[in-house]
Amino acid sequence: MIASNLNNLALVYLDQGQLDRAGEYFRQVLALDLKIYGEKHPKVAQILQSLGATLLRGKKYGEAEASMRQALAVKLMSFPPTHWEIATTKNMLGGLSDGSEGLPGGGAAARRKLRHHQKAVRPQARPHPPGRRPSRHPV
């Protein structure tokens, strides 16, 4: 319950653009979740990813990458390699190195991201018939 409330506070500060405060709260949640679940639990991976995304928004690229790599390591222990959770984290890591955040890397990271996303499909996702896309404006 406490971790959930701290996570909610982190999200509020994140929405307000107070990235340092959000990061502090995510770190508190991480410390609690590590005590409760241990370091190999998917909840820990999710908080590590949230912290990494917050650090990325704050342009703290080195810390962001370290946090996201930890999240990926935990997810690889928890999910099959083509699971969408792993694809999401790899996508975020690829964003760090594909040049989109002003860092070196380039097309190779983007191509790896694309290949992984093509293999990983969320369970509820359904392909649309060829030539048809769902309308954005319901009739």
Averaged pLDDT, groups of 10, the chain, 139 residues long: 92 96 97 95 96 94 94 94 91 71 48 58 52 51
pLDDT for position 94: 83
CA distances to 85, 86, 94, 98, 132 from 114, rounded to whole Å, are: 14, 13, 10, 12, 22
Residue with tokens 């293999």: 119
Would you state the pLDDT for residue 37? 95
CA-nearest of 31, 55, 25, 56 to 43 is 31
- Is there a contact between 87 and 105 (Cβ–Cβ < 8 Å)? no
Contact (CB, 8 A) for 70 and 47: no
Domain-by-domain residue ranges, the chain? 2-119
Contact 6, 43 (CB under 8 A): no
> What type of residue is 115?
R
Q: 19 burial class (0-12, 13-18, 19+ CB within 10 angstroms)?
A: middle
Tell me the C-alpha distance between 48 and 38, whole Å. Answer: 13
Residue where the block lists tokens 């060829």: 130
pLDDT of amino acid 114 = 57
**CATH no., domain 2-119:** 1.25.40.10
pTM across the whole model = 0.70
